[in-house]
Amino acid sequence: MFTGLVEARGTVSGLVDDPPACRLEIGVGEAWAGEASVGDSVAINGCCLTVVEIGAATLWFEAGPETLARTNLGELVPGAPVNLERPLAAGGRLGGHFVQGHVDGTASVVDVRRDGEWVTMWFEVSGDLAPQLVSKGSVAVDGVSLTVVEVAETRFSVALIPHTLEVTTLGVRETGARVNIETDILAKYVQKLVVGGAIDGVAGGGPE
């Protein structure tokens, strides 16, 4: 479980195609690498991956075909920056929202509006994800916990403060970029209940 509060930015150091999967080497710095263990989970652009090998200042991960198809990790190239977050520790502060690291799909950046040091960014999502987004609700974009400002059919916007732009990859995202999206877990369950017709049964209080 993660919080969507990015701890650091890493850099793609290497890519090894291993069809149908891919091995990723991420530069994380000596401190991070020294604290890591094989089997640890790390969110890379919001996607939970497992550490499979440790270098002096890098961590290796494996991304399977489902991950490559559902996320933007398959588009990474050497030198690309990525957002990094380690799991929430027991007793740790939850400053963002509950993020599972299970990316639901991707969105395209369709508009970047700058107002001084602030940015309003608009995204286009698929029709199946759009119902899970509500104004003032939570969403993880490339692993960053954000509040939805406005929703218009299959588009939604977020407001990015200077700090977020500085410490995450959202500061370098431009129109046309593809980002990972994880909607709020509560929205998923509510949608499933509504679509499945279970809400009527709950509201009725059972058989009379």
Would you say residue 197 has pLDDT above 70? no
Residue 202: pLDDT above 60? no
In the chain, CATH 2.40.30.20 covers 8-85, 105-194
Report whether pLDDT(84) > 60.
yes
pTM (predicted TM-score): 0.90
Q: For residue 204, is pLDDT > 50?
A: no
The CATH number given to 8-85 is 2.40.30.20
**Domain covering 105-194, topology:** Elongation Factor Tu (Ef-tu); domain 3 (2.40.30)
Q: Name the residue with higher pLDDT: 191 or 113.
A: 113
3-state secondary structure the chain: CECCCCCEEEEEEEEEEECCEEEEEEECCHHHHHHCCCCCEEEECCEEEEEEEECCCEEEEEECHHHHHHCCHHHCCCCCEEEEECCCCCCCCCCCCCECCCCCEEEEEEEEEEECCEEEEEEECCCCCHHHCCCCCEEEECCEEEEEEEEECCEEEEEECHHHHHHCHHHHCCCCCEEEEEECHHHHHHHHHHHHCHHHHHHHCCCC
